[in-house]
Each structure stands twice: as C-alpha cells, then as structure tokens.
Amino acid sequence: MKPYTAYILIGGNIGDRFANLATAKELITNQCGTVINESSVYQTAAWGLTEQPDFLNQVLMITTKLLPEQLMQNLLSIEESMGRKRSVKFGPRIIDLDILLIDDLVIDTELLSVPHPALPQRKFALIPLSEVAPDLLHPVEKKAISQLLTACNDELVVQKISASAS
C-alpha cells in the first residue's frame, strides 16, 4: 500500500506554546508518520471564543501508512496524552491537532471530515498550509490552496513569528 500524504494543523494557546508544538511534532513522528515538511509558526488571535490567549499554529506535512481514521485516532490519543480537555467549544487548549487534507481524499464519517470543512474560511490554517503546499488542489473546491487563501474573507491577523517550532 502506498503511503498517504497528510497535512496536519497543530496549534495551542495554553502553557509553553512552542514546547507544546515541538512535543506534538515529536509524538506525531513517533505515532503517525514521517514529517517531510513543516511551515513556519504563526500567531493568531483566538477564533470563535475570542476572550482567551493567542494561538500558535503550524502545518506539518507527513507521510503515513495509517489509514485516515487510524491517523485521526492517533492524533486524538496524542491530544489526550498531552492533557487536552474538551470542555468548552472553541475554548483554550494545550494542543489541537486537525487533519486538513489527506492526498485528494474526500471523507465524511462520524470521526473524520477530510478535507477539513472549515479550511477555506480560516486564514490561520490556509496561510501555513499555503507555505508548504501552495499548488495543492483542494479536492472539493477544485482550487489551489494559494487561490483559496486569496479568496478567503477571514479578517483575523495571522503573524509569522518563527521559521520552525524546533
């Protein structure tokens, strides 16, 4: 079976945010697949529930032999092992791991929606994704990630703060 290429948005806004990104990256490498590219780290104000600390976000491009649902299960397990508590929707979190895309797959199950349904509306995901894969075609929108970014109306300021979390 040929490995999948997956694009994972990692982020968080509690604790040592840089250390949490580095830990998540290490755990993803150990439990999910090989990181073959990564974006810079970006800082963004909270989306949805705005009265909380700013988030740091980064996109990891990985190759994995895990089936998509198993990849999602492993990411949820990593979140839990790092202390993620799902108590408030859009609330503060130590780590958040979202699958944005897996190859050109379209998946909609109870556990997993790929491509991530909110991707075209969120600059904090599109900007780091366009850094690692600007010409990647969104399998539903049929547009390159760079085109989705240009068309995105999200007004949150997304600021590059470092070239890498490590």
- Is 93 a residue of the active site? yes
How many Å from the N-terminal Cα to the C-terminal Cα in the chain?
31
Of 17, 93, 122, 154, catalytic: 93
135 is catalytic: no
H helix or E strand, kind and range, residue 98: strand 96-102
Q: Which of 17, 98, 122, 154 is catalytic?
A: 98
Q: Is 17 a catalytic residue?
A: no
Give the separation between CA 129 and CA 51, rounded to whole angstroms.
Answer: 26
CA distances in angstroms from 150 to 121, 127, 146, 154, listed in the order given: 11, 10, 6, 10
Cα(70)–Cα(55) distance, rounded to whole angstroms? 26
- Of the residues 17, 54, 84, 122, which is catalytic? 84
Q: Provide the residue type at 101 as one letter.
A: L
Whether residue 134 is preceded by a cis peptide bond, meaning omega within 30 degrees of 0, is: no
Question: Dmax of the chain from CA atoms?
Answer: 46
Catalytic: which of 96, 103, 104, 135?
96
Catalytic, 84? Answer yes
- Map residue 57 onto helix, strand or coil: strand
**Which residues belong to the active site?**
84, 93, 96, 98
